[in-house]
Structure formats: C-alpha cells, structure tokens
C-alpha cells in the first residue's frame, strides 16, 4: 500500500531522479554532478538528499564507489564488467574505459602475488581538447 506521508512520496521521486541521473550520465558522478542532473528532473532535490540516497544506493548494491587519488569519491552503476577510468584534467569529469590490458602480474617482483589492479588515465576529454 502506498504511503500517505508526502515526504515518503517525495523521497521516492527524488531517489528516482537520482537513479535516472546515473543511468543517463553512464559515467561515474560526484555528488554535485548528481545534484545538477537530478535537480533538472525533480525540484526539491538538495545536496543532503543526494548524499543520503547515494549512501543508500551503495548499501543496496545499486551503486559502487570509484576512488581517485586526491579526489572526492565518485559513484557509478554497480554490476559492470571490470573496467578502468579516464580523468579529464580540463573539466574534472571521469569517464569509463572499455576493456582491460593484460600482463600486470608480470610487473610484480618475484614471489609477489597480484590479486587486483586499477588503471587510471589522465588527460583531456574530447570536449576539453
């Protein structure tokens, strides 16, 4: 049965706008980018709402955290195949890179066991070039 509490309905609309922002962007977003995209679809979305919903969506497993050295966290849709990222130094946006290079295990010193890796490319995106 739907809630008669208007704040619950509002939160549902806000969460839907936040989910849609991630789906349409199809790249990792920081909370301010989410706010900008979600606020165009749903009035009343504030930064506290964005943070609260991102936290809940990460806990649900719908989003995953993308950590970049020296940067605030970004978030992307969970469940994607292994991939890496490109960070534009012009606009600050982060983009997903398809695929993965191989041969990382050979870079480790003898006797070391590689259990994972992250590759981050830096440069300027097409819009900033």
pLDDT tens per residue across span 72-107: 999 999 999 999 999 999 999 999 999 888 888 899
Note the pLDDT of residue 102.
85
Note the pLDDT of residue 11.
65
Note the pLDDT of residue 7.
43
Please say whether the beta carbons of 72 and 100 come within 8 A: no
Q: Given phi > 0 = left and psi -120 to 50 = alpha, else beta, which region is 115?
A: alpha
**Tokens, residue 62:** 């719908």
As a CATH number, domain 6-77 is 1.10.10.10
Give the contacts of 128 (CB within 8 A, at least 6 positions apart).
88, 90, 91
Cα torsion 127, 76, 57, 64: sign: negative
Note the pLDDT of residue 12.
83
Note the pLDDT of residue 36.
94
Cα 57 to Cα 99: distance, rounded to the nearest angstrom: 25
The list of the chain residues with pLDDT below 70 reads 1-11, 41
CATH 1.10.10.10 domain extents, the chain: 6-77
For 25, other C-beta atoms within 10 Å of its C-beta total 15
């Amino acid at each position: 049965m739907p809630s008669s509490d208007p704040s619950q309905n509002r939160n549902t609309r806000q969460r839907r706008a936040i989910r849609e922002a991630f789906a349409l962007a199809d790249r990792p977003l920081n909370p301010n980018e989410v706010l900008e995209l979600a606020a165009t679809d749903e009035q009343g979305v504030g930064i506290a709402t964005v943070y609260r919903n991102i936290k809940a969506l990460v806990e649900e497993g719908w989003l995953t955290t993308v950590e970049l050295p020296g940067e605030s966290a970004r978030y992307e849709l969970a469940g994607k195949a292994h991939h890496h990222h490109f960070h534009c130094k012009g606009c600050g946006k982060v983009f997903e890179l398809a695929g993965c290079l191989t041969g990382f295990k050979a870079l480790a010193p003898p006797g070391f066991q590689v259990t994972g890796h992250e590759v981050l490319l830096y440069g300027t995106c097409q819009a900033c070039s």
